[in-house]
Amino acid sequence: GESVGLHLPTLSVQEGDNSIINCAYSNSASDYFIWYKQESGKGPQFIIDIRSNMDKRQGQRVTVLLNKTVKHLSLQIAATQPGDSAVYFCAETYYNTDKLIFGTGTRLQVFP
Amino acid sequence: DTEVTQTPKHLVMGMTNKKSLKCEQHMGHRAMYWYKQKAKKPPELMFVYSYEKLSINESVPSRFSPECPNSSLLNLHLHALQPEDSALYLCASSQDGRTGGSPLHFGNGTRLTVT
């Protein structure tokens, strides 16, 4: 289930289940979105991106969905594995800017 | 392993010290970034260099001074820091100076402690 802790929302899932991590973005002008995975002691690692002219994009075991109407982004991870345990951040930017702004993040915990 | 290399991995410094963080990438990227990350928080943008010119300074205090000697190197010079500046400092690079075109690639950061 999902819970909001003092700092980071946490999603706990069983190994093999599908995970869905949600993100609400702030700027209606944002046109490029990225999901990052950050493991303890490491920098953010690129997972998948999507541009505003798309609603869905698929990678290996991951799918990103974009709903511009409600400014909502989601990351779906199929067959979640223990190695998927990490903090996941969505990030947004808009045309012709160097600014990439991160959302608050969600901790994904995978239990056997 | 990441293609963006940051040194040192850990740094402990006093409030009167002067130190520098270093970042290097050899992907031919033309934009480089400094982010600051506190525990359990998202990375916060500090500076952006695009084609070796400072394009964004997010109102960062002058005790942090960035430098981009060439398109592969990025430094962050630190002087008279405060304990609240303790954080993970992340360097990133992207293919061009407009992040709307390509994702940022991050290093593993320098864990800075100010005593």
pLDDT in tens, A47-84: 999 999 999 999 999 999 999 999 999 999 999 999 99
Q: What does the pLDDT look like over B12-38, one tens digit per residue?
A: 999 999 999 999 999 999 999 999 999
Query: Do you find a cis peptide bond into B8, omega within 30 degrees of 0?
Result: yes
B108/A8 CB distance under 8 A: no
Judge whether B56 and A98 are in contact, CB under 8 Å.
Answer: yes
Cβ–Cβ contact A70 with B under 8 A? no
Cβ–Cβ contact A98 with B under 8 A? yes
CB pairs under 8 A between A and B: 71
Judge whether A64 and A50 are in contact, CB under 8 Å.
Answer: yes
- Cα distance between residue B13 and residue B78, in whole Å: 10
Contacts of B43 in chain A (CB under 8 A): 44, 89, 102
Nearest to B87 by CA among B115, B109, B111, B107: B111
* Cβ neighbours of B39 (radius 10 Å): 9
Binning pLDDT at 50, 70 and 90, where does residue A2 land?
A: very low
**Spatial CB neighbours of A5, under 8 Å, sequence gap ≥ 6:** none
Q: Which two tokens stand for residue B89?
A: 């400092």
Point out the least confidently predicted range of A91-100, B20-29, B106-115.
A91-100
Distances (CA, A) of B28 to A4, B72, B109: 40, 7, 20
Q: Which pLDDT score, from 0 to 100, does residue A3 have?
A: 39
Contacts of A102 in chain B (CB under 8 A): 42-44
Distance from CA of B100 to the nearest CA of A (A): 5
Binning pLDDT at 50, 70 and 90, where does residue B102 land?
A: confident
> Running DSSP on this structure, what letter comes out for residue B85?
G
Considering only alpha carbons, which residue of chain A is nearest residue B57?
A99
Mutation for A interface: B99, B105, B108, B111, most A CBs within 10 A: B99
- Radius of gyration, CA atoms only, chain A: 14
Calculate mean pLDDT across residues B102-110: 94
Q: How many residues does chain A have?
A: 112
Contacts of B104 in chain A (CB under 8 A): 34, 46, 100
A95/B98 CB distance under 8 A: yes
Considering only alpha carbons, which residue of chain B is nearest residue A92?
B100
Q: State the amino acid at position A47 in one-letter form.
A: I
The residue whose two tokens read 């969905």 is A65
